[in-house]
Amino acid sequence: MKILLIDPPGWQKGGVNLGLGYLASSLCQVKHEVKIIDLNNNFCCDPIDDIVKSFTPDIIGYSVKTATANSTASISNRIKERFPKVLQIAGGPHISICYEKFLKANRQIKFAFIGEGEHSLVNFLELWSKGVSIQKVKGIAFYQNDNLTVNKREINSTLDKLPFPRLDLIEDINFSQFPYPLVTSRGCPYDCVFCCVGIISSKKWRYRSPQNVVSELEEAKKRYRIKRFEILDDNFTLNLNRAKEICRILIKKKIGLSWQCHNGIRADKIDEELAYLMKKAGCVSIALGIETGDEDIFRNIGKGETLQDIKRAAKLIKNAGMELIGYFIIGLPGDNLRTIKKTIEFQKTLALDWFVYGIMVPYPGTKMWDYVRKEGKILLDITDVSHFSDELKIPFETPGFTASERKQAYELTKNLEKFYRPKIKQLIINYIRNEPLDSTAVEERQKNQEKSNRFYINAVVQAGIRSGLVVVAWSILAFILLAVQFRKISNFCFRRSNK
């Protein structure tokens, strides 16, 4: 069958949809024909209608985040109007949580896929193409008349068996524009109040073997000529020994790729040896989800870490010579202007190279979602906000932290950026372009910095000498003038006394 997979547009560019790459490789393995359209990065400029006309897919599948739920609805409505025979299906984080509401509001989408889609989609297509009942396919939800059928999903525990993602099937992809996305494990056992990963990818942490991970990178290097990659795991270092082993193999094989962990690692899941091995294996930049600098709030957000863990991890990362990024949230339960100021003070004690303060967006399925419904007042449709956006939108308020105070808090954090300006500017540019600072770039920058320091020292010394000379010259001139005046006066007095 022909399947067109679409990543609908949101506000953020820079990363490609790896989930669709994984689906594509599983579908190709059983001889389906697949095309992926990325509507976030403008790799492909043809209008969707033209692509559908020329590719003539049997099925169109959308990957939906809460932030792209609205755009999915409008694209799929248009497709239904113009190509009524194409079967439309959807999966992804938003669907895994809100399948019922989404299917109800979007009857043009006939099937929702809950959780990981590789096995259920292959199974579904096998039956669908034969015209056999799909009633028992795992991990799907669908309406028959007004009755919703929901089949329990499967949690894939044999990740090594999955074929490597086929990102080359993304129309007109340009690999130089983003780091190669790598997922070495799926799922997360923790319970942070603001995070929905446990529902999307399950609480069971499943991992790939270090050999399998490195093989993917070797293949990507050959096939796509990648120079850098990004680890997108929710919990890359949960098992320290496995993470160390991945690094050791990368070092041994002299893989020569620079990489980053901007999705963050846990502060309590790094030690000195791991930090050293990561750096040696090419890691140039790591993010920590710090969230808040207030101990009470930190204790209540379900992270199971302490601020001490954050300080320790920050030190280890910096000492190992990697860039350190901190993510903070404005609007956690108990937050107010005072606690944000406290967070800012805490932030200053960490040697961060860059930081991001995001306005809290309560996603469905999270504890935060329930908290806001109980304690707060929703101000916006959350499908319309993003926590890292430059455009300030406040999705909810609480009696202790009003919308205008949240704006004030955000402004305070924005002002902080001034102190980081030169470095921040470079990092933001790199982040937008998705270019981590690789080690050579860091060295180059240090050399330039030293050069410019020397330049400033020379300039100061020279200025000192010059101004010294000027002072001496003026002093001599003043002395001469004074001497002349003195002579005139004494001559005058002498003449008068003679008279």
Residue numbers at the binding site for ligand SF4 (CB under 6 A): 188, 190, 192, 195, 197-198, 234-235, 266, 289, 303
List phi, psi (to 5°) of 90. Answer: -150, 150
From the list ligand SF4, ligand B12, none, pick the one residue 286 interacts with, judged by a Cβ distance below 5 to 8 Å according to partner type.
none
From the list ligand B12, ligand SF4, none, pick the one residue 48 interacts with, judged by a Cβ distance below 5 to 8 Å according to partner type.
none
Nearer CB in complex with ligand SF4: 167/183 = 183
Cα 50 from Cα 33, distance rounded (Å): 18
Type of residue found at 352: L
Nearer CB in complex with ligand B12: 21/320 = 21
Cα 329 from Cα 136, distance rounded (Å): 42
* Residue 256: CB atoms within 10 Å: 9
Q: Which helix H or strand E contains 197, and what residues bound it?
A: helix 197-200
Q: Name the minimum Å distance from CB 169 to ligand SF4.
A: 28
Cα 202 from Cα 197, distance rounded (Å): 7
From the list ligand B12, ligand SF4, none, pick the one residue 65 interacts with, judged by a Cβ distance below 5 to 8 Å according to partner type.
ligand B12
Cα 98 from Cα 366, distance rounded (Å): 12
Q: Which two tokens stand for residue 480?
A: 């001469």
In 322-376, beta strands by DSSP E: 323-330, 354-359
Nearer CB in complex with ligand B12: 158/497 = 158
From the list ligand B12, ligand SF4, none, pick the one residue 386 interacts with, judged by a Cβ distance below 5 to 8 Å according to partner type.
ligand B12
Q: Name the minimum Å distance from CB 254 to ligand B12.
A: 27
Cα 434 from Cα 13, distance rounded (Å): 9
Nearer CB in complex with ligand B12: 195/281 = 195
User: Which residue in 125, 162, 144, 97 sits closest to 5, CA to CA?
Assistant: 125
From the list ligand B12, ligand SF4, none, pick the one residue 113 interacts with, judged by a Cβ distance below 5 to 8 Å according to partner type.
ligand B12
From the list ligand SF4, ligand B12, none, pick the one residue 192 interacts with, judged by a Cβ distance below 5 to 8 Å according to partner type.
ligand SF4
Cα 285 from Cα 352, distance rounded (Å): 11
Nearer CB in complex with ligand B12: 40/347 = 40
Q: Which two tokens stand for residue 135?
A: 């009633």
Nearer CB in complex with ligand B12: 392/481 = 392
Report whether 263 contacts 233 (CB < 8 A).
yes
Distance of CA 369 to the CA centre of its chain: 21
Cα 416 from Cα 430, distance rounded (Å): 19
Q: Name the minimum Å distance from CB 110 to ligand B12.
A: 11
Nearer CB in complex with ligand SF4: 169/192 = 192
Q: Name the minimum Å distance from CB 141 to ligand SF4.
A: 24
Q: Name the minimum Å distance from CB 161 to ligand SF4.
A: 24
Cα 85 from Cα 385, distance rounded (Å): 33
From the list ligand SF4, ligand B12, none, pick the one residue 258 interacts with, judged by a Cβ distance below 5 to 8 Å according to partner type.
none
Nearer CB in complex with ligand B12: 336/366 = 366
Q: Which helix H or strand E contains 258, and what residues bound it?
A: strand 258-265
Local structure of residue 335 (DSSP, 8 states): -
Q: Name the minimum Å distance from CB 338 to ligand B12.
A: 26
Report whether 170 contacts 38 (CB < 8 A).
yes
Q: Name the minimum Å distance from CB 275 to ligand SF4.
A: 19
Query: Burial code of 399-429, b = ≥16 C-beta within 10 A, e = fewer?
Result: eebebebbeebbebbeeeeeeeeeebebbee
Q: Name the minimum Å distance from CB 401 to ligand B12.
A: 20
Q: Name the minimum Å distance from CB 384 to ligand SF4.
A: 23
From the list ligand SF4, ligand B12, none, pick the one residue 19 interacts with, judged by a Cβ distance below 5 to 8 Å according to partner type.
ligand B12
From the list ligand SF4, ligand B12, none, pick the one residue 190 interacts with, judged by a Cβ distance below 5 to 8 Å according to partner type.
ligand SF4
Cα 147 from Cα 149, distance rounded (Å): 6
Q: Which two tokens stand for residue 164?
A: 């490597």
Cα 246 from Cα 433, distance rounded (Å): 26
Binding site for ligand B12 (CB under 6 A): 7, 10-12, 14-20, 22-23, 40, 61-63, 65-68, 89-94, 97, 113, 116-118, 121, 181, 183, 195-197, 200-201, 232, 234, 263, 363, 386-388
From the list ligand SF4, ligand B12, none, pick the one residue 362 interacts with, judged by a Cβ distance below 5 to 8 Å according to partner type.
none
Nearer CB in complex with ligand B12: 23/247 = 23
SS3 69: helix
Q: Name the minimum Å distance from CB 359 to ligand B12.
A: 9
Nearer CB in complex with ligand B12: 12/212 = 12
From the list ligand SF4, ligand B12, none, pick the one residue 179 interacts with, judged by a Cβ distance below 5 to 8 Å according to partner type.
none
Strand partners, 140: 113
Report whether 284 contacts 344 (CB < 8 A).
no
Nearer CB in complex with ligand B12: 43/276 = 43
Q: Name the minimum Å distance from CB 238 to ligand SF4.
A: 9
